[in-house]
Amino acid sequence: MKTLTLAALLLLSTKSFADFSEKIIGDESKIQDKDFSKNNMERLHRGHNEIVLTFDDGPTPGVTDKILDTLKENNVKATFFVIAEKAKDQPELMKRILNEGHIVANHSLSHHALKDLSFFSWKKTVKKEVLDAHEILAPYMTNSKNFFYRAPEGAWDGKYAGVLNQSEIGKQYIGPVLWDIGGAVEFKDGQYLQAADWACWSKKITVDECLSGYLYEAKKVKGGVVLMHDLRTQSAEMLAKFIPALEASGFTFKNLDDVNWNK
């Protein structure tokens, strides 16, 4: 009986510790509504027939302003994942993004991909690229109730989350945010099944061909977060065709604040 009781107590204490650990550590597979995640956040908003437009790597004079023109003409709001060092040089474009009701989000200080970092300096690099960027971008981030981060090239390691979440600003972030549509180019049987604007232009794919890949993927996954870049004029040209084509296909537009982050 004593042996059985001891075993039962041991089992109970083990279960209690496991329950306690789960409460402290949390389920890493779930998207948290705050704090940096240990994993990139994927499959964000599929299946709702809603489109969330996001633009990376700007602001770029001659491109970002054309994209803003198209968004304004169509009464669509978007999220701009901005490189902070570029933002410093383009205050008027940044003010326009803010004043026209779009979300400004963090795409790092210098677009330094967080991979193959030095063992001795990785913590410093991660803090610099994310938190120093925030200091520059914060005045433009007032259109959202959240701070969003997208890692350059999607490069991320779970240990970065632990470092960033030690800061009060880091604990207010959602990210790293990936995308549902626009991550790669795939061509099969005479049809683009998906497309990524940056890859389209480097491969000399036309605007209409690239657009067909975006539309095909959007219809296949029934909407979601779209990745584009405000770097090349072709992207601005494609957006002017993309929005009407999406609307004609029955899609509506949301912004990143409308995504359910507490899944």
**pLDDT at residue 120, as a whole number:** 86
Alpha-carbon distance of 193 to 37, in angstroms, equals 30
Angle at 22 between CA 17 and CA 26, to 5 degrees: 160
- List residues bridging with 188 in a β-sheet: 191
**pLDDT at residue 11, as a whole number:** 40
Tokens representing 172? 């207010």
| Block mean pLDDT (10 aa), the chain, length 263 | 41 37 33 72 85 98 99 99 98 98 98 89 95 98 95 92 94 94 96 98 98 98 97 99 99 92 62
**pLDDT at residue 262, as a whole number:** 64
Q: Decide the pairing of beta strands 147-148 and 173-177.
A: parallel
Whether the Cβ atoms of residue 185 and residue 203 lie closer than 8 Å to each other: yes
**pLDDT at residue 40, as a whole number:** 82
Q: Which CATH superfamily is domain 46-258 in?
A: Glycoside hydrolase/deacetylase (3.20.20.370)
pTM of the model: 0.86
Tokens representing 138? 């914060």
DSSP of 45-104, one letter per residue? STTSSEEEEEEEEE--TTTHHHHHHHHHHTT---EEEE-HHHHHH-HHHHHHHHHTTPEE
Q: Which residues contact 90 (CB under 8 A, 6 or more apart)?
A: 59, 61, 64
CA distances from 32 to 70, 157, 163, 189 (A): 33, 17, 17, 40
Nearest partner of 170 among 133, 117, 144, judged by Cα: 133
**pLDDT at residue 194, as a whole number:** 98
Burial 82-120 (b: 16+ CB within 10 A, else e): bbbebbeebeebbebbbeeebbbbbbbbebbebeebeee
For residue 2, the 8-state DSSP code is: H
**pLDDT at residue 36, as a whole number:** 87
For residue 146, the 8-state DSSP code is: S
